[in-house]
Structure 1
Amino acid sequence: MPYIRLSVAKKIHPDDEQKLVDGLGVALSKIPGKEPQWTMVEVSDGLKMYFGGKRQDDMVFADVKYVGRFPYQKKKEFTREAFNVINAILGTPKDKICLTITEYDNWGAVGDFHDQYYSD
């Protein structure tokens, strides 16, 4: 169950927010086994964001978490597509977008604990 948290400096129109969520779900599908219908997205907009000590009116930080370990090239394809989606929908310049990826081996979902390498 991938989880994407978006922190956005400017306010987002609800229609654009849905396009953003949908577009990031599709972008994440560049990584094998990561499908839009299982992706959770949290959007926080209208935030006070600073970079280099200066207030930014148009900046986005995307924190992406999912189970599994994937090759560099797949993560790079996803990252480029995520930047394209954010830029196309919000108009945020790519030099004002940051993204992190955290990969996990285990998770809890559907009322139980799961591990990528171990099963009961």
Structure 2
Amino acid sequence: MPYITFTTTKTLTLNQEKALKESAGQLISILPNKKEENLMIHIEDNQVMYFRGQEMECMKISCQLFHTTDYQYKKEFAEKLLKEVERITKIPVEQQYLSIEEFENWGKNGEYL
């Protein structure tokens, strides 16, 4: 039950949004027991954001996971996703942040697990 939010200053094309969705969908399987069929993605483009004290193209990626995942899988996922975001959006990895939050409880299908 992963949930990923992409928030950026840049205005993305529909093709870029689809490419982000497809890349995240493929890469999520790096994390054990995570699949694209359970992945929810939210994309917010054209946002006002400041980075290093000024307006510039940047992106914040937030990934929320149900249960904990070993560090090496999160590292591989993060590094590959950041590179894909750069390839798709042309926002350098140096102008991206990614955070991963892990939850022991999660609601889905009308129940709280």
Same fold (TM over 0.5): yes
Q: State the Cα deviation string for residues 10-57 of structure 1 (Å, max 9, x = none).
A: 10000110111110121121101111111001000011110122111x
Aligned partner of 2:41: which letter? V
Under a length normalisation based on structure 2, what TM-score does the superposition of the two structures give?
0.96
CA distance in structure 2 between the aligned counterparts of 1:22 and 1:33, rounded to whole angstroms: 18
CA distance in structure 2 between the aligned counterparts of 1:48 and 1:108, rounded to whole angstroms: 31
Q: Are residues 1:34 and 2:34 paired?
A: yes
Runs of 4+, deviation exceeding 3 Å: none
Q: State the Cα deviation string for residues 62-98 of structure 1 (Å, max 9, x = none).
A: 0100101111111000001111110111111010010
CA distance in structure 2 between the aligned counterparts of 1:35 and 1:63, rounded to whole angstroms: 17
Under a length normalisation based on structure 1, what TM-score does the superposition of the two structures give?
0.91
> What is the SS of the residue equivalent to 1:34?
coil
CA distance in structure 2 between the aligned counterparts of 1:103 and 1:63, rounded to whole angstroms: 11
CA RMSD of aligned residues (A): 0.8
CA distance in structure 1 between the aligned counterparts of 2:48 and 2:109, rounded to whole angstroms: 35
**Correspondence for 2:17:** 17
Identity %: 28
CA distance in structure 2 between the aligned counterparts of 1:111 and 1:48, rounded to whole angstroms: 35
**Correspondence for 2:43:** 43
Aligned partner of 1:41: which letter? I
> What is the SS of the residue equivalent to 1:12?
coil
**Correspondence for 1:98:** 97
**Correspondence for 1:65:** 64
CA distance in structure 2 between the aligned counterparts of 1:30 and 1:15, rounded to whole angstroms: 24
Aligned partner of 2:26: which letter? V
**Correspondence for 1:74:** 73
Give the deviation of 1:111 after TM superposition. Answer: 0.6
Structure with max Cα Rg:
1
Unaligned runs of 5+ in 1: 115-120
Unaligned runs of 5+ in 2: none
